[in-house]
Amino acid sequence: MAQSQKRQFRDAEITQKQILDAAEIEFSRHGLKGARISAIAKQAKITTAMIHYYFENKEGLYRAVLQRPMEENQQFVEQLELDHLSPEDAITFIIRVAIANEFRNPYRQMLWFQEASQNQGLYFKQGNWSGIFERVIKVLERGIESGDFRPVDDPMLMLTHILGVCIFYFTVQENWQHLTPDVDRLSPEKVEKHTEDAIAFVLAAIKKP
């Protein structure tokens, strides 16, 4: 590939990332129905024509915004060697990764909330999330079979509870900051404390007595 072509490809990548980053914020605040292309363009510091060039329309951009975290998580999960860890160590690692991911992407929980509220998961279901969740459920089932974790009828429900412990902390932050205005719960130190407490809480709940 010629140098000029490489530069054009790189410029296109940068532009698309700027658009997706801005769109993630706008969609997390207003959902698909309330988001405005003009606001996304202003935030990304590009023209609305550029958005239409790369993503065609608002729905196409929304699909891309929802697809991006799925692809990022899919690539990461595929690299994990969870089978070589004990069930307890694997769950501990998964909790750390889940919380770190939320810390890096503070708008995504509201994005999922808007999708559930406005569209009842219509666009969410179009992503291949099942493969990601199946990897975690496999760890839980392995722990149950080995006797490390308590038996349950529905490992998916157990996973739901684990994710709730990890993620709710970030979902309610905008409200709870008014209860303790002097505490920065999104500081690295507080997030690390949340991580350690979440690990202890989850393991106490799922480990077999």
Give the mean model confidence (pLDDT) for residues 50-79. Answer: 89
Q: Residue 186: CB partners within 8 Å, gap ≥ 6?
A: 103, 106, 170, 173
Q: Residues 32, 114: contact at Cβ < 8 Å? A: yes
Q: Which residue has the higher pLDDT, 130 or 140?
A: 140
Give the mean model confidence (pLDDT) for residues 174-197. Answer: 95
Of 34-43, 70-79, 168-177, 186-195, the poorest mean pLDDT is in 70-79
- Please give the biggest Cα pair distance in the chain: 63
Give the mean model confidence (pLDDT) for residues 20-37. Answer: 96
Residue 80 has pLDDT above 90, yes or no: no
2 pLDDT band (50/70/90 cuts)? low
Residue 6 has pLDDT above 90, yes or no: no
The predicted structure's pLDDT at residue 73: 79
Give percent above pLDDT 90 in the chain. Answer: 74
Q: Residues 165, 202: contact at Cβ < 8 Å? A: yes
pTM of structure: 0.84
